Amino acid sequence: MDAFEETNLAVEAFSEWSMPWLFMENILSNPSLSVAAIDVLLDVWNKALEEKYWKDADLSACSQIAKADLAANFPQLKIETIEAIVRAASYQWR
């Protein structure tokens, strides 16, 4: 399994959306996650947190812009993975 597939699976496994601040901690605590998958996840996460996405007062619009850009930059990831990462990142900007 490659790093992108691992990242997809790890993100899909997150289900604690009542506590979105635990998103990265939860995923990164998975002992079976490879170093390569962690690198992918951190790259996408850091990109998702860039201020340029979160300048608009409309969080939905910001999320759509971030999602489109991440999908273009990380086409190996499932759209559901990108959506989850953007969702978690949006809570960092609330």
Q: What is the pLDDT of residue 15?
A: 94
Over residues 73-87, mean pLDDT = 97
Element (H, E) at 82: helix 79-92
**71, burial (CB in 10 Å: exposed 0-12, middle 13-18, buried 19+):** middle
Number of structural domains, the chain? Answer: 1
This prediction has a pTM of 0.93
- Give percent of the chain with pLDDT exceeding 70: 99
Range of the domain at 9: 3-92
